[in-house]
Homo-oligomer: A and B are copies of this chain.
């Protein structure tokens, strides 16, 4: 229960009165600012708990122009990767005394622009954004008025703090593993044709890197563009995917959800995974351990990612003129049954 002073939320003034000091001293105590005498500090702290004081976000925001609310913009919270990311960001934010509002962009430029250009007046103190459509050019003409961190795999100019995942390197790990386990006839699922900013692009490049080095081919016909990255789309692909002797023997999917769909469709057709064809996904969605066969995938270090992102927000708040930073978050290949013969 929060105590109240005369049925009204307690304010710094109430605390000040109870402690027999001034409001600014209370403020100083609250922020550990300047040197407050130990005895006074103790008295103020006692008064704070006594009157049940909770700082008013409004007062603070109005006065100092910044808040402990940060917005996390992502395409769709229902996607396992993004909900896992949100979870980690929320946990980490709480440790830092921050609070997280979720903004869903559906990967649409206008939405991403709307979020990226949020005004401090909206009451938000920082932005974490996972851009899908925003290009470096879009971002260049945006002068964000909030500490803004870009999360993703693509480099997008150098005007922003960015947290990266090196998807191309991860893709090389995936392809190398597949080649090492005897796969030769590759397909790739999940590039939107002609779109360089989506999650597919770099992942495809990494696969190409390895195949080229191995003298293997990845013809255009083996690169299967998809309108989105969901399970349903994976099913559609899996239903027509040539597999076995005369078809592919490995299919790299740009997301776990695509892969889950592909697995489901292959099972429906009686195609045996991994014997006839290996399937891989991306992002290590929790469900991927529990589909049958369990899915080989790329895992990210979300704790590292969230900590880095929030660290950038904090650093930029402290020093808005700071040079934009970059952080590359580690990844790791998780080998499971969908690629493991025998």
Q: Which residues of A approach B to under 8 Å, CB–CB?
A: 1-2, 9, 54-59, 61-62, 67, 69, 76-78, 80, 83-84, 86-87, 90-91, 99-104, 117, 119-123, 141-143, 145, 231, 234-235, 260-261, 263-264, 267-268, 286-287, 289-292, 294
A291 touches B289 (CB 8 A): no
A83 touches B77 (CB 8 A): yes
A69 touches B123 (CB 8 A): yes
- Nearest-CB residue, chain B, relative to A119: B54
A119 touches B2 (CB 8 A): yes
B77 touches A77 (CB 8 A): yes
CB distance from A263 to the nearest CB of B (A): 8
B123 touches A61 (CB 8 A): yes
B91 touches A104 (CB 8 A): yes
When A and B form their complex, which 6 residue pairs have the shortest distance between CB atoms, in order from nearest? Answer: A57-B123, A58-B61, A58-B62, A83-B83, A56-B121, A267-B292
* Known contacts A101-B100, A231-B286; A58 and B292 CB within 8 A of each other: no
Max chain B CB contacts within 10 Å: which of A1, A99, A234?
A99
A77 touches B69 (CB 8 A): no
* Known contacts A61-B123, A102-B102, A121-B57; A261 and B286 CB within 8 A of each other: no
**A102-B102, A261-B290 given. 18 additional CB < 8 A pairs?**
A2-B145, A57-B121, A57-B122, A57-B123, A58-B67, A58-B121, A61-B61, A61-B123, A62-B62, A67-B123, A77-B77, A77-B87, A78-B83, A86-B102, A99-B101, A99-B103, A123-B123, A235-B290
In the complex, A59→B119 CA distance in Å? Answer: 14
Q: Find chain B residues with CB under 8 A from A80 CB.
A: 78, 80
Count copies of this chain in the complex. Answer: 2
CB distance from A311 to the nearest CB of B (A): 21
Max chain B CB contacts within 10 Å: which of A83, A87, A120?
A83
In the complex, A314→B62 CA distance in Å? Answer: 25
In the complex, A58→B56 CA distance in Å? Answer: 10
Q: Find chain B residues with CB under 8 A from A287 CB.
A: 231, 260, 287
CB distance from A26 to the nearest CB of B (A): 15
- Nearest-CB residue, chain B, relative to A264: B290
B143 touches A1 (CB 8 A): yes
- Nearest-CB residue, chain B, relative to A79: B83
Q: Find chain B residues with CB under 8 A from A263 CB.
A: 290, 292
In the complex, A121→B294 CA distance in Å? Answer: 48
